[in-house]
A and B are shown apart, each in its own frame.
Chain A
Amino acid sequence: MNLSLHYPILVIVILFAGAYLTLLLGLLNKKICYYLAVLFSFVSALFSIGLLLLVLENNTISYYVGGWEPPYGIELTVDPLSAFMSLIVAIIGFLVAVFSKNYIEHEIPLEKHPAYYSLLQLIIGGMQGALMTGDLFNLFVMTEIFSISGYALVAIAQKKGSLLASFRYLLLASIGTTFILFSTGFIYMLTGSLNMEDISNLLPLIDNPWVMYSGLVLLIIGFAIKSALFPLHTWLPDAHSIAPSPVSVLLSALVIKIGAYSIIRVVYTVFGERLSGGFEIIGVPLSWMASMAILVGSLYAIFQTDIKRMLAYSSIAHVGYILLGVSLASTLSLTGGIFHMLNHALGKACLFFCAGAVIYKTGKRNISDYAGLSSKMPITMAAFTIAASSLMGIPPASGFMSKFYLGLGAYQENWFFLAVILIGSLFGGIYFFRVLATAYFSSEKALYVDTKGPELPLSMLIPIVILAIASLTFGILEDVPVTLIEQAVELLLTK
């Protein structure tokens, strides 16, 4: 038996099996749950790397779950885009599992550890499933899996307000998933198929475009709620800032990207052939919403006093950048948008890790409490600076390159979008420099005085340093991701 044939399903199944094993073994020993979560997410990440190498050779891999061939069975389709996203999810998921050890001991009572680590693997597995599936209904199921795990993870710390934040998230996001199911019904009614490849071949034969457009719009609204696109973002600031920091990393760096990825998948792969030439009907409203998201998200972030809330609003703005690139639909802008997914995932994960490290060490989360922190936590603040400069778009950090591609793509379309990107980056500079200035140049004495012992436990320091280095590396060696992304974009646009 050739194992490499089964990589797509292994990436997902290992995490789901791990989730249940963790819960079971957690009955015997609550301490080993952490090691199980790290082990399973590591093995899944290895398979994800293997998958990417396979995809680089073969372009697109199809896997028939249970040997049932489409259109009857469920198909997993791994193209360069999903392999690329899958690797981001796997690596950051693994780092979150590593980071969790001390932070979770600090914040969550021991009897909830098995549930936490089980949900952690479930949410990563759900995201991997949503990335790889080639079946519209399966996409809905996987979306529900990672969403429900997400609601539970927001509520798990049971701090003040976390239950209400989780409830709000649940109400809004389940409207989104119901829309996705509704529109799956629409599309099934039109085409009689649920397989994405099959649907994209059948849709051009449909005479009545309006039923199709209503299905498409419902799908996009559903995934826009998941990815917190501007007018639908209201659940995000509470949920992302109140959740425990490793969970904030998962939600902010990964979960909202899956929404954006699904929009790409639906618009380009499923509807690509049908829409070719008539893309404006979706692209124009989407690009204006994305521009508003950039401006409004950045503007709100400037006025926040809580660091995690500021980062949450900044996530709304960065979803705007990604979807602006997606909606402009040129090779350059789409490359920029997908590249920005990588950079925002790395940068925002690092920033939330740093904010979590400061909360772990000092218990403070107000920006004014960061005064003088640079001398007490030098490595953390250095990583914070690198990640922040990446999200602001300062070279040589990687965010500059993706904003550069985005800007080029936007300029081809309309100078207004270029102005939006530049103004958004300026606002980004304002809110990040406020934190950096407080940490590095404030004359006030740091509140936190205990400098004995290491700065942070190794399990927290290593993920932070890895992400900061990765942010720098991809800025200098931008060829490595860009060649892969260009391959993915070519496949999407030629559809």
Chain B
Amino acid sequence: MIDLLPPNLPYFASIALLLIGLYAMISKRNLIKKIMGLNIFSTSVLLFLIAMGYREGGAPPIEAEGVTHYVNPLPHALVLTGIVVALALTSFALILIINIYKEHKTLDSEKLKNL
């Protein structure tokens, strides 16, 4: 079982990050920490995608003479799109948080629940 770990380390790391992010989103009371959790959560998926495209000793996916072994370029395109989406989501969430703070003068989700 343990010998599965070294070659698959990025996958284990991404699952660990996924769970850390999910834990932060559920249990942290501060809304900004919840958003940080969301960011960790979505970044873990990006790590998963990157790890998937990696080939041992592969060259960058630019056609060159004498190179036949490339890393898979498609996950990179997915990750770039994923980053853009996460950026839009995070910036919108932060604007929401600014407005929530202006309205309620607190970012504690337990206090906000009782309003």
User: Interface of A with B (CB < 8 Å)?
Assistant: 137, 141, 144, 148, 151-152, 155, 158, 161, 163-164, 166-167, 170-171, 174-175, 177-178, 181-182, 184-185, 188-189, 194
Contact = CB atoms under 8 A, between A and B. Distances in A.
B11 to A, nearest CB: 10
A167 B93 contact: yes
Interface of B: 18, 22, 25, 31, 34, 38, 41-42, 45, 48-49, 52, 74-75, 78, 81-82, 85, 88-89, 92-93, 96-97, 99-100, 103, 112, 115
Contact of A141 (B41, B52, B75, B85): B85
B108 to A, nearest CB: 12
Given A181-B45, A185-B45, A189-B52, A170 B100 contact: no
A175 B34 CA distance: 12
A171 B103 CA distance: 19
A163 B99 contact: yes
Contacts of B31: 167
A170 B45 contact: no
Contacts of A148: 88-89, 92
Contacts of A166: 96
Contact of A185 (B22, B38, B48): B48
A174 B42 CA distance: 9
Given A151-B96, A163-B103, 12 more contacts: A151-B92, A152-B92, A155-B96, A163-B99, A167-B31, A167-B93, A170-B92, A171-B34, A177-B85, A181-B82, A184-B78, A189-B52
Nearest to B43: A178
Contacts of B41: 175, 178
Contacts of A184: 78
B25 A171 contact: yes
Contact of B100 (A137, A141, A164, A188): A164
Contacts of A161: 115
22 contacts: A141-B81, A144-B88, A148-B88, A151-B96, A158-B103, A163-B100, A164-B112, A166-B96, A167-B31, A167-B96, A170-B89, A170-B92, A171-B25, A174-B38, A174-B89, A175-B25, A181-B82, A182-B18, A182-B48, A184-B78, A189-B52, A194-B74
- Which 9 pairs from chain A and chain B are nearest by CB? A182-B45, A144-B85, A163-B100, A185-B49, A178-B42, A181-B45, A189-B52, A167-B96, A163-B99
B91 to A, nearest CB: 10
A144 B78 CA distance: 14
Contacts of A151: 92, 96
A182 B25 CA distance: 17
B45 A137 contact: no
A175 B96 CA distance: 18
Contacts of B49: 181, 185
A188 B52 contact: yes
